[in-house]
């Protein structure tokens, strides 16, 4: 594949190949020298039209660990503020010899448009577009689940068949939820969404998952519970129950966490709104993988960049069959 736009575009084999390659990348991160020469001489541009902490820094770290030259572009402070279009911005980057573009954009569909417009030749990686997709987030979440629920070595070549994953919160505005539902379904997991009725998207009945409004009944049957951020910036007040009502019915606190099976994970893509969807007690508990998810994101993004740009070069000095 030339681009990574949507988790729905990945087959089971594509996804398992990325997860297996990411395991190899994670082993490199444990070495004293974390850098690989794989993308030496290649230039990757991180094109961020919307704010980001984790994704932007994680892509930059991944690119640098693969020895790529990195150009960081933030719309704030650029000529976008003077009215320059996505097309002209992209063609400006293309003229500077960019080999791949990582793009985050507030408009759903912007990465697809860039990849299929003919404006640029470079592979495009979606780093989150509007409420649509965030495929590398779903991949790093699946990587974290596979590592924790199966194991780094035992997990190689495996999917998440039969694992019960619950996503809780503002599904309506969540590209993370959409990407996770698509990828987890492809990997054989059973997904349940729990949300206030006003934050469930129209047409959810066509998604490959169950929907519940009762968090307490779903928690004991979950292998992982992913809390979603309430995206105030994308909603109008009418959508939303009061904060207190939301926390009471859909927030994860210590008492609720105790209803989960002992092995079950608490996940969050970040940024977290502590006190709203998750209490500090839960966010800081040993069961919460939020920091691990961030660390795993670098390995997963290295794998994606390597598979899109690395050609037939081995990923690391001792590649497994999955990475060749």
Site residues, ligand CP (CB under 6 A): 52-55, 128, 134, 137, 269-271
Q: Output the six-digit token pair for 221.
A: 């049957």
Closer Cβ to ligand CP, 21 or 55, answer by number: 55
CA distance linking residue 163 with residue 261, whole number of Å: 13
Is-contact 108 172, C-beta < 8 A? no
Closer Cβ to ligand CP, 134 or 148, answer by number: 134
CA distance linking residue 9 with residue 82, whole number of Å: 35
Strand 265-267: give its sheet, edge to edge: 210-212, 190-194, 164-168, 224-227, 265-267
Closer Cβ to ligand CP, 66 or 226, answer by number: 226
SS3 217: helix
Residue 18 β-bridge partners: none
Q: What phi and psi, each to the nearest 5 degrees, are found at residue 193? A: -100, 135
Least distance CB 135 / ligand CP (angstroms): 11
Binding residues for L-aspartate: 82, 175, 229
Closer Cβ to ligand CP, 36 or 178, answer by number: 178
Binding residues for carbamoyl phosphate: 54-55, 104, 134, 137, 270-271
Closer Cβ to ligand CP, 226 or 307, answer by number: 226
Closer Cβ to ligand CP, 137 or 299, answer by number: 137
Is-contact 225 168, C-beta < 8 A? yes
CA distance linking residue 203 with residue 187, whole number of Å: 22
Binding residues: 54-55, 82, 104, 134, 137, 175, 229, 270-271
Least distance CB 253 / ligand CP (angstroms): 22
Q: Output the six-digit token pair for 198.
A: 């006003």
Least distance CB 78 / ligand CP (angstroms): 19
Least distance CB 104 / ligand CP (angstroms): 7
Closest by Cα among 58, 56, 51, 47 to 88: 47
Least distance CB 91 / ligand CP (angstroms): 26
Q: What phi and psi, each to the nearest 5 degrees, are found at residue 36? A: -115, 150
Least distance CB 136 / ligand CP (angstroms): 9
Least distance CB 264 / ligand CP (angstroms): 21
Q: Output the six-digit token pair for 285.
A: 């508990």
CA distance linking residue 99 with residue 87, whole number of Å: 17
Closer Cβ to ligand CP, 304 or 322, answer by number: 304
With 0-12 / 13-18 / 19 or more C-beta atoms within 10 angstroms meaning exposed / middle / buried, residue 254 is exposed
SS3 251: coil
Residue 72 β-bridge partners: 46
């Amino acid at each position: 594949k030339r681009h990574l736009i949507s988790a729905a575009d990945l087959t089971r084999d594509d996804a398992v190949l990325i997860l297996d390659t990411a395991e190899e990348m994670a082993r490199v991160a444990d070495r004293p020298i974390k850098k690989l020469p794989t993308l030496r001489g290649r230039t990757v541009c991180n094109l961020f039209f919307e704010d980001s902490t984790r994704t932007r820094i994680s892509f930059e770290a991944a690119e640098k660990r693969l020895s790529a030259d990195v150009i960081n572009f933030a719309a704030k402070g650029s000529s976008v503020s003077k009215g320059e279009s996505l097309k002209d911005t992209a063609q400006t980057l293309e003229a500077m010899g960019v080999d791949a573009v990582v793009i985050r954009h507030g408009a759903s569909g912007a990465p697809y448009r860039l990849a299929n417009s003919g404006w640029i030749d470079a592979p495009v990686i979606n780093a989150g577009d509007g409420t649509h997709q965030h495929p590398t987030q779903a991949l790093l979440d699946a990587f974290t689940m596979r590592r924790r629920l199966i194991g780094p070595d035992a997990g190689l070549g495996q999917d998440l068949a039969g694992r019960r994953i619950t996503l809780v919160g503002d599904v309506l505005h969540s590209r993370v939820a959409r990407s996770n539902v698509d990828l987890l379904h492809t990997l054989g997991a059973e997904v349940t969404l729990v949300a206030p009725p006003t934050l469930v998207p129209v047409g959810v009945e066509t998604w490959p998952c169950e929907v519940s409004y009762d968090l307490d009944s779903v928690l004991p049957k979950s292998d992982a519970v992913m809390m979603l951020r309430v995206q105030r910036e994308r909603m109008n007040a009418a959508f939303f129950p009061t904060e207190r009502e939301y926390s009471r019915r859909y927030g994860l606190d210590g008492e609720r966490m105790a209803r989960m099976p002992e092995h079950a994970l608490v996940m969050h893509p970040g940024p977290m709104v502590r006190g709203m969807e998750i209490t500090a007690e839960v966010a800081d508990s040993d069961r919460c993988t939020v920091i691990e998810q961030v660390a795993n994101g670098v390995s997963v993004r290295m794998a994606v960049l390597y598979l899109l740009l690395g050609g037939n070069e081995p990923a690391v000095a001792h590649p497994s069959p999955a990475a060749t």
